[in-house]
Amino acid sequence: MRIAVASGKGGTGKTLVSANLAAAAMVDLVDLDVEEPNAYLYFGEGETSTLPVNRPVPSIDEDKCNLCGECARVCAFGALVRLPSRIHVYEELCHGCGACTRLCPQEAIIEVGHEIGELIRTRAGSRQLTYGRLRVGEPIAVPLIQAVKEALPMQRMTIADCPPGTSCLMVEAVRGSDYVIMVTEPTPFGAHDLILAADVLDRLSIPHGVVINKDGPGSGNIEEICADRDIAILSRIPFRRDIAERHARGKLLDRPEDRRRFLVLWDAARREMKI
Ligand code: SF4
Ligand code: SF4
């Protein structure tokens, strides 16, 4: 079972919710925000293992290639260019779809690994944190998110911290989740992006509920949106300076009422999931 924690807008408190919820429920955590992973800050030092993650890119055998240009024509991403004397591969543009390899009439293309980042696992007691870290300058993150998801231990409940926004990174991160907790904030931008994220989850047919972070004056619009769309408000995290300070230092919330709040959120999400 996997509960994803997502949002439309960045900076609403996804990692705050993911890390504190996983700690309160004593379950595993996965950080799928591979462009900027930071959940490890909450996890402490533990035994860590790291594995490189590759995606396949074409390599041209120039002895076999007759410069017909078919591969450059078929590539939808402009990753192959026919020059007068050879085919040039822009590895950073390649999406690894494999079309050029399959369609080359001379069988002059093989696929080789292009390292895009690393998969990292660390432990804290009985709990595991898994996350990906994209290499600096690497533009395509989806294969790394897929590799991190594939590496998750089977049969274990996991909370997934997802990338912000509603682009393909967020879609890939939430895909396959049993439930999504959307973290929002009572601002016009938060409300606007909550609607976008809810639309994505409706299209993916993933059940979801909302946590209002920085709750206080002005959250009425979020409540209206949730009421209109029949989305449950699972929890509210108050707009308090000490919460912001602990979060900024990578520390779990320590007040008893805050810990209770995340246990109540855990129960609410499980009730929504009917488990
Ligand atoms: S399709 Fe094959 S033979 Fe044709 S240009 Fe590309 S690599 Fe060369
Ligand atoms: S694998 Fe797909 S994306 Fe990559 S170069 Fe070949 S056709 Fe283009």
Domain end among 81, 96, 115: 115
Band (pLDDT 50/70/90 cuts) for residue 245 is: very high
Identify whether residues 210 and 252 lie together within a single domain: yes
Range of the domain at 129: 2-53+120-273
141-200 confidence digits (pLDDT tens): 999 999 999 999 878 899 999 999 999 999 999 999 999 999 999 999 999 999 999 999
11 in Cβ contact with 161 (< 8 Å) = no
The rounded Å distance from CA 53 to ligand 2 centre is 18
Tell me which residue of 138, 137, 118 sits closest to 57, measured CA to CA.
Answer: 138
31-71 confidence digits (pLDDT tens): 999 999 999 998 876 778 999 999 999 999 999 999 999 99
Per-residue tokens: 135: 């290499």
Q: What is the mean pLDDT of the chain?
A: 93
Kindly state the DSSP code that residue 9 receives in the 8-state scheme.
S
13: domain CATH number is 3.40.50.300
For 196-205, what is the mean pLDDT?
97
pLDDT at 219: 61
CB burial of residue 237 (10 Å; 0-12, 13-18, 19+)? buried
Identify whether residues 20 and 99 lie together within a single domain: no
pLDDT at 56: 93
Identify whether residues 265 and 193 lie together within a single domain: yes
User: Which distant-in-sequence residues (6+ apart) come within 8 Å of 150 by Cβ?
Assistant: none
Instruction: Name the packing angle between helices 14-25 and 256-273 (round to 10°).
Output: 90
Say yes or no to pLDDT of 262 above 70.
yes
How many whole angstroms separate alpha carbon 23 and alpha carbon 141? 27
Tell me which residue of 262, 196, 275 sits closest to 235, measured CA to CA.
Answer: 262
Run of H or E including 212? strand 208-215
Output the CA angle 179-180-181, nearest 5 degrees: 125
CB burial of residue 116 (10 Å; 0-12, 13-18, 19+)? buried
Identify whether residues 168 and 220 lie together within a single domain: yes
Residue with the smallest CA separation from ligand 1 atom 8 is 65
Please state, as a whole number, how many other Cβ atoms lie within 10 Å of the Cβ of residue 125. Answer: 8
How many structural domains are present in the chain?
Answer: 2
How many whole angstroms separate alpha carbon 17 and alpha carbon 131? 17
Ligand nearest to the CA of 79: 2
How many whole angstroms separate alpha carbon 72 and alpha carbon 80? 5
More reliable by pLDDT, 123 or 158: 158
Identify whether residues 110 and 222 lie together within a single domain: no
Identify whether residues 269 and 188 lie together within a single domain: yes
Percentage of the residues of the chain whose pLDDT score is greater than 90: 84
129-142 confidence digits (pLDDT tens): 999 999 999 989 99
Q: Ligand 2: residues whose CB is within 6 Å?
A: 58, 74-75, 77, 79-80, 94-100
Identify whether residues 190 and 235 lie together within a single domain: yes
How many whole angstroms separate alpha carbon 143 and alpha carbon 241? 38
pLDDT at 192: 93
Identify whether residues 211 and 77 lie together within a single domain: no
pLDDT at 259: 93
Determine whether the shortest distance from the Cβ of 66 to ligand 1 is under 6 A.
Answer: yes
Identify whether residues 268 and 235 lie together within a single domain: yes
Identify whether residues 36 and 83 lie together within a single domain: no
Domain end among 115, 133, 156: 115
**This prediction's pTM:** 0.89
From 62, 67, 112, the mutation candidate for ligand 1 (largest count of ligand atoms within 8 A of CB) is 67
pLDDT at 70: 97
Identify whether residues 179 and 95 lie together within a single domain: no
194 in Cβ contact with 210 (< 8 Å) = yes
Identify whether residues 147 and 258 lie together within a single domain: yes
For 221-227, what is the mean pLDDT?
93
